[in-house]
């Protein structure tokens, strides 16, 4: 690369968890001298865009993004669309009404056709978005090992679950199993982050709500408290099937062992579930078999270090930028 390219990035929200996993990696590339970065706004003028070589749009689902992307293309910028989620959600989703106000299939199709490359986090997303653009590449979500350290294995009798509006439907799906297993093991605590889960707080003996945090506070909490187990209840639907395995990565980082959905294919380094029965049985096994927790966590660390460290995964971003600059 003869010149250091200037990249303008349009984040979904710089403070969101999604931006931490999808946009912050470019900040590391800038810090290391691979690119110059401008954080864009959707009312950007052509004068700013003319200083740039590449425009990256994170999750441009809203029809309001269309004009800015057209301007970038009109001014000759190579354009990257980054997507970490399905573009469509069900009526039961908590932000469905907001989605209906902003999403337009025709606008989204135009946006995708304008992209020189689309980057996604998972193989199911790649397969899905190939219907919109024939150049879709996988850049997996990866732990930022530039500053996040691995904890030592934990034997803390704490189960952690991520709450909040976006997770309630999934937690509700497995509420009976969670309540039964936790109440059978009252020497274990159930810690909930992100938002109160009243149907659990009313029924679980050792329920503890630990607060809501931004993404950096969240990682600090994980590393400070070192839960023994993190459970990741997800309903089997198109939206969840396309999600990445960041919950398992976070578990590995903070020395917890994870209970994961079977479609993540992490059988060698977590216990998985494909239905209510296997969720309950394997949750029970994680609580009662300490040696198994340590064995699975050890294998998880090996897998994360091989496939999911940002210092390695960012090489894919460097290669894409090099190719766009040719």
**pLDDT one-digit tens code per residue, 36-88:** 999 998 877 788 999 999 999 999 988 889 999 999 999 999 999 999 999 98
CA dihedral 65, 66, 69, 73 (to 10 degrees): 180
Q: Domain of 170: which CATH number? A: 3.40.50.2000
One domain for residues 45 and 117: yes
> Taking all residues of the chain, what is their mean pLDDT, rounded to a whole number?
94
In angstroms and rounded to an integer, the radius of gyration of the C-alpha atoms of the chain is 21
One domain for residues 260 and 320: no
Q: For residue 165, what pLDDT is reported?
A: 80
The residues pairing with 271 across neighbouring beta strands, listed in sequence order, are: 259
Q: Tell me the three-class secondary structure of 113-175, residue by residue.
A: HHCCEEEECCHHHHHHHCCCCCCEEECCCCECCCCCCCCCCCCCCEEEEECCHHHHHHHHHCH
Domain membership flag for residue 150:
no
Q: For residue 131, what pLDDT is reported?
A: 97
Tell me: pLDDT of 92 over 90: no
The single-letter DSSP state of residue 265 is: -
One domain for residues 132 and 164: no
Q: For residue 72, what pLDDT is reported?
A: 94
Count CA within 13 A, CB hemisphere, residue 90: 10
Tell me: pLDDT of 276 over 80: yes
Q: For residue 180, what pLDDT is reported?
A: 98
CA angle 278, 280, 286 (to 5 degrees): 95
Q: For residue 100, what pLDDT is reported?
A: 87
φ, ψ for residue 56 (rounded to 5)? Answer: -115, 125
Closest CA to 143 of 8, 71, 240, 245: 245
One domain for residues 163 and 279: yes
Tell me: pLDDT of 14 over 80: no
φ, ψ for residue 255 (rounded to 5)? Answer: 75, 20
Q: For residue 95, what pLDDT is reported?
A: 82
Count of domains forming the chain: 2
Q: For residue 167, what pLDDT is reported?
A: 87
Helix 165-173 crosses helix 175-184 at what angle (to 10 degrees)? 70
Q: What percent of the chain has pLDDT above 90?
A: 80
One domain for residues 318 and 177: no
Q: What is the pLDDT of residues 222-271, one digit of tens each?
A: 999 999 999 999 999 999 999 999 999 999 999 999 999 999 999 899 99
Task: Look up the domain containing 27 and give its range.
Answer: 6-142+310-324
Q: For residue 53, what pLDDT is reported?
A: 96
Structure tokens at 19: 């931006």
The residues pairing with 162 across neighbouring beta strands, listed in sequence order, are: 193
Tell me: pLDDT of 12 over 70: yes
């Amino acid at each position: 690369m003869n010149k250091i390219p200037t990249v303008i990035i349009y984040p979904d929200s710089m403070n969101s968890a999604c931006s931490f996993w999808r946009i912050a990696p470019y900040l590391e590339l800038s810090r290391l001298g691979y690119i110059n970065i401008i954080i864009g706004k959707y009312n950007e003028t052509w004068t700013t865009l003319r200083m740039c070589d590449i425009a990256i749009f994170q999750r441009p689902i809203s029809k309001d993004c269309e004009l800015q992307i057209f301007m970038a293309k009109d001014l000759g910028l190579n354009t990257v669309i980054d997507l970490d989620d399905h573009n469509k959600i069900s009526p039961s989703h908590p932000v469905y009404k907001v989605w209906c106000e902003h999403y337009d299939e025709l606008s989204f199709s135009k946006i995708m056709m304008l992209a020189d490359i689309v980057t996604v986090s998972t193989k199911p997303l790649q397969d899905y978005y190939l219907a919109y653009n024939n150049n879709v590449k996988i850049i997996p979500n990866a732990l930022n090992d530039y500053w996040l350290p691995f904890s030592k294995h934990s034997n803390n009798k704490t189960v952690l679950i991520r709450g909040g509006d976006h997770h309630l439907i999934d937690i509700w799906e497995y509420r009976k199993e969670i309540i039964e297993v936790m109440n059978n093991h009252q020497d274990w605590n159930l810690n909930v982050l992100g938002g109160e889960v009243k149907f659990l707080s009313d029924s679980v003996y050792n329920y503890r709500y630990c607060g809501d945090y931004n993404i950096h506070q969240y990682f600090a909490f994980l590393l400070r408290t070192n839960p023994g187990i993190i459970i990741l209840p997800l309903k089997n639907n198109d939206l969840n099937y396309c999600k990445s395995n960041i919950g398992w990565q976070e578990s590995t980082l903070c020395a917890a062992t994870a209970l994961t959905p079977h479609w993540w294919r992490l059988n060698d380094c977590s216990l998985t579930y494909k239905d209510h029965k296997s969720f309950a049985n394997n949750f029970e096994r994680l609580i009662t078999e300490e040696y198994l927790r340590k064995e699975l966590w050890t294998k998880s660390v090996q897998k994360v270090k091989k496939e999911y460290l940002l210092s390695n995964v960012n090489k894919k971003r460097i290669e894409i930028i090099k190719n766009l600059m040719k």
